[in-house]
A and B are shown apart, each in its own frame.
Chain A
Amino acid sequence: MSTFASSRETTEGRIYSVTGGDWDDVTREIGSAKEERVVVNMGPQHPSTHGVLRLMLELEGETITELRCGIGYLHTGIEKNTEFRTWTQGVTFVTRMDYLSPLFNETTYCLGVEKLLGVTEDVPERATVIRVLMMELNRISSHMVALGTGALELGAMAPMFFAFRERERVLDIFEMVSGLRMNMAYIRPGGVAQDLPSDAITKIRELVKDLRKNFKDNEKLLVGNSIWIKRTKDVGYLDLAGCITLGVTGPVLRATGMPWDLRKTQPYCGYEDYNFDVITTDTCDVYGRFLIRMQELEQSLRIIEQACDKLEKLDGAPVMVADKKIAWPAQLALGGDGLGNSLDHIRQIMGTSMESLIHHFKIVTEGFRVPAGQVYTPVESPRGELGAHLVSDGGTRPYRVHFRTPSFSNLQSTSAMCEGSLIADVVAAVASIDPVMGDVDR
């Protein structure tokens, strides 16, 4: 018995537990077993499964004959929970779904609430531009994790250092703007929680300049790197027909040559006013998806620059709908004891106006009423189509909130990508789908 694999007899056959070591030792052990069919359970706690994803692989030698995913380990009941909070509080829940791209979750949810309210046209332009700016920054930080962890899972450590260095810079901007590095609940129904700080645009412009330079580090390391190409080229193949029938969207779909990007095809948040290109490759493989993410970084930088230009022209404009029945009354301000309601506002409600106090109390505890109906609002998240299906019964709480998350649909294609390939390629294929388990399980 090797030191790496322990085995025990069960009614299902002999079960080996492997927790590291040399695969050769394991196969030698298993080779002595009578059965040809080997089922390998990978995860849910496994460093290369991109979170708590469990993969069940049926092997013949090193070739996968069948692959199944086990999900649900990160199910937190976000959809159910939102039914018991106000529409505004819902943002705080949905931002935690896809924790690598919280601003997309918030935007798709808020676009849905606004559509139900019928205030889509009333959302101030400055708020919309800030949303675009924040989303594109978020796309960069999300792609950085996809690239960094993807490379790490295939054994390349340096790209992750570079990727996380860049991501930190973006998170610093998020912290400066919203006070939080992730799960910001910054985008609210009707606009955004607060305006950008005065030096934000300068800082973001500096960041764009640095990022454009720094992205070259990873490009030099990976693009054209022969080891990287051997691990990713023609691996995890999924063609257009497969993507369409499985409902796969995002970089995986664009790697089949299909230029489908909701920012272009069904623009929202004013994306039709920005100049950027939809990146495609036609290789249908992991390398193609990697190249798409690499090049989308530059496109996001272009959008950020244009958003900064727009914001400079819109300086001082409102960032929340004018309707006082929707917008929360207080602006946040940094006080001596931390972030809270601005002192001016507290003076007004506690000292001058009883009606303001009542209004503040009612709108925060009770929320606003949303006319009955249902909507579906999709946005292009870094992983593909993220859609919010919101149902209202006319009350102050959502009747039903469902998210069609790209990770959930895309992860389903793992079997199609991996069956018939080698076990080592599973890691590359899963990394190229870039599933976020919070997004899959919600």
Chain B
Amino acid sequence: MFGVSGTGDTSGYGGLVRANYNPISAERPYGSYFDDVADALERAYPQFSDAIERVVVDRGELTLHIKREKLVEVAKVLRDDAALRFEVCLGVDGVHYPEDSGRELHAVYPLLSMTHNRRIRLEVSVPDSDPHIPTLVEVWAGNNWHERETYDMFGIIFDGHPALTRILMPDDWPGHPQRKDYPLGGIPVEYIGATVPAPDERRGYR
């Protein structure tokens, strides 16, 4: 009923189960204004199919998965082309998918076009062994702090960033706290004779 798989034993501590990330690529027509955006981008940027790995439309939101080498070019086109005009980037944040081998670290950029009143999302994925993404500070200056935060929390290195240092954690902090392999670091709590395990030790349901 609640989706427990396996033996259904809920007495032990199974830990958290990680799922593989595999969104379904969208087919044309994408619906809503997404086709207009895709058409405009193809017009303004002929190497579209080369740079965009995958287009995902899910829950009324458009996500363009972009190769990191092409990120800056595509971003400039998205910002400057009159039919696109995504003049505001609402920052970047990371997502860590340890099971998605070769593409463990994802950086997600929500974009907003005030001119056309539209939103899309860019997503760039890089392997854990080579966590480099070119910076977008030159394109959207407001990404400065956001990229520092993503570096701080996930260890993604934004090449060309003017001062890529930690921003929320202390400068000498070891590790990148929001990665999935970084423990939450709770301690068990004893309460009236019973011991409640730390949140990251409690059983997880799928």
Contact = CB atoms under 8 A, between A and B. Distances in A.
Contacts, number: 127
Given A247-B89, A374-B58, A393 B18 contact: yes
15 contacts: A83-B184, A84-B199, A118-B59, A244-B88, A245-B140, A247-B88, A266-B117, A367-B205, A373-B58, A373-B59, A387-B110, A394-B206, A396-B205, A402-B108, A408-B91
Nearest to A416: B141
Contacts of B169: 72, 75
A409 B206 contact: no
Given A244-B87, A394-B19, A399-B19, 19 more contacts: A72-B170, A80-B177, A116-B59, A118-B59, A245-B140, A245-B142, A247-B88, A265-B114, A266-B117, A369-B205, A385-B112, A389-B108, A393-B19, A395-B17, A397-B204, A402-B108, A404-B93, A408-B149, A409-B90
Contacts of B16: 84, 395, 397
Interface in B110-153: 110, 112, 114, 117, 119, 121, 140-146, 149
A72 B168 contact: yes
Interface string A342-377: 000000000000000000001000111100111110
B4 to A, nearest CB: 8
Contacts of A42: none
Given A376-B119, A404-B91, A409-B91, A396 B19 contact: no
B72 interface: no
A80 B142 contact: no
Contacts of B112: 385
A205 interface: no
Contacts of A399: 19, 95
A127 interface: no
Interface in B182-206: 184, 199-200, 202, 204-206
Contact of A391 (B18, B89, B95): B95
Interface size class of B (residues with CB under 8 A): 35 or more
A375 B184 contact: no
B61 interface: yes
Given A79-B178, A80-B177, A85-B199, A246 B93 contact: no
B64 to A, nearest CB: 13
B52 interface: no
A400 interface: yes
A402 B145 contact: no
A376 B2 contact: no
B167 interface: yes
A74 to B, nearest CB: 9
Contacts of A72: 166-170
B21 interface: yes
B29 interface: no
B205 A404 contact: no
B3 interface: yes
B90 A387 contact: yes
B22 to A, nearest CB: 9
B199 to A, nearest CB: 4
B177 to A, nearest CB: 6
A441 B17 CA distance: 28
Contacts of A385: 90, 112
B6 interface: no
B200 A84 contact: yes
Given A81-B199, A395-B17, A395-B204, A245 B167 contact: no
A421 interface: no
Nearest to B21: A393
Contacts of A362: 1-2
A138 B13 CA distance: 41
A98 B202 CA distance: 28
A43 B202 CA distance: 39
A279 B61 CA distance: 29
A71 B168 CA distance: 6
Contacts of A83: 184
A306 interface: no
B142 A396 contact: no
